Amino acid sequence: MPHEPLWLPPDGQIWADIGHTLTSKGTVQAILIFGGVIGLSELIKPVSVPMDALWPREWPMAAQVVLGLVVAEFGLYWAHRVAHEWPPLWPYHAVHHSVKKLWIVNTGRFHFIDSLISIVLGSGVLFATGAPLEVIQWLSAITAFIGMLTHCNVEMRFGVLSWVFNTPELHRWHHSKDLSEGDKNYGENVMLWDWIFFSHYNQKRRPPLDIGIKEEMPPRFLQQLKYPFTAEIRWKNKDFSQ
């Protein structure tokens, strides 16, 4: 049940998508987050937590995970929003937005610098407040699931859930070339901070079919890795109205 049948044909980017996934969501996240799965957690657990740690470790794990989603989302939200609104960071994030269709394979299509900033800001808040590694691991798993869900080319309806969570309905607006629609819905998992900072966007009409960016993105993976370091940057480079 495709949301958009015109997004079904190959776009010639599958290997670039996989390459970015391996370098950003694979390498960076494995080092910073999933290292705990292969033994890092055993090294961290014996380390004493400061007495003034803010994290409520006595709460049930489910409650800690919910709190973790809200707390980490603050860092994730601002990492995402600044990547859109601050010109020096936009070329890194533009690699993700350069896709011409949404489907599950380009979920992890992020320049590794862009991904690193998001992971550090999101998880850094949790580490700073004393959250246990298990909360970080749960957050990583939930973020991966919601990321795949929001990039699926599948027709789905979420109703009131789009008021609380990031959903495909919301994320399709975020990929619009129209900045009044695209510079919205920055939340990775929950929409709390979009509501607070007035960037939540959802309309009854259908999101645009023509998505992507207005500048040219090189077609090859290695070219895309080098793109942010060679692109000519100017204010709102993604908007070629000037």
Of residues 135 and 33, more confidence is placed in 135
Of residues 132 and 192, more confidence is placed in 192
- The mean predicted confidence, pLDDT, of the chain is 87
Per-residue pLDDT at 33: 56
Predicted TM-score (pTM) of this structure: 0.86
Q: What percent of the chain has pLDDT over 90?
A: 71
| Model confidence pLDDT, tens digit, residues 153-197 | 999 989 999 999 999 999 999 999 999 999 999 999 999 999 999
Token couple for 220: 């090859």
Residue 213 has pLDDT above 90, yes or no: yes
Residue 74 has pLDDT above 70, yes or no: yes
Per-residue pLDDT at 88: 92
Confidence of residue 128 (pLDDT cuts 50, 70, 90): confident
Of residues 83 and 237, more confidence is placed in 83
Residue 234 has pLDDT above 50, yes or no: no
Per-residue pLDDT at 64: 96
Each as own residue / partner, the long-range contacts of residues 123-130 (CB below 8 Å, 24 or more positions apart, any chain) are 123/32, 123/33, 123/72, 123/75, 124/75, 125/71, 125/72, 125/74, 125/75, 126/55, 126/68, 126/71, 126/72, 129/53, 129/54, 129/55, 129/71, 130/49, 130/50, 130/53, 130/54, 130/55, 130/57
Confidence of residue 240 (pLDDT cuts 50, 70, 90): very low
